[in-house]
Amino acid sequence: SQQGEEDPQALSIQEGENATMNCSYKTSINNLQWYRQNSGRGLVHLILIRSNEREKHSGRLRVTLDTSKKSSSLLITASRAADTASYFCATVLYTGGFKTIFGAGTRLFVKA
C-alpha cells in the first residue's frame, strides 16, 4: 500500500466554507508536501513542511504536521470555486537519495 493516504477521498463544499484534508503516512519522513492538480494538468506544489515543523501557513492554506501520529492536514480557508481540484500529499523519504511518494489524493469540489 502507499506511503501516504488522504482522507476523505472526495469532498464537496459551498464557496466560502473551509476545506480540511488529512494525510497519514507510515515511515519517517524528511518533509511532507501538498500539491494541487487541476483536471487534465500536471501537479503544482502548494506548500512544504519539514519534519521538525508543526504548522505552516501560506495565504489561505494552513498545514499541520504531527510526526508522532504520522499525519498531516491541509486546511483551505474561505474556499472559492477556483479551488476545485485534486489535492495530494507527498512524503519525502531519504533512502540513499530523496524519494517522493504520493498518496491517492482528495478530490475537492467547491460549489459556487
Which residues would be at the binding site for other proteins (CB under 8 A)?
Answer: 2, 30-31, 33, 35, 40-45, 48, 50, 88, 90, 92, 94, 96-105
- Smallest separation, CB 15 to other proteins (Å): 26
Closest contact distance (angstroms) between CB of 112 and other proteins is 26
Angle at 64 between CA 98 and CA 104, to 5 degrees: 60
Q: Give the integer Cα–Cα distance in Å for 4 and 91.
A: 7
| Beta-strand pair 19-25/31-37 | unpaired
CB of 63 to other proteins, least distance (A): 13
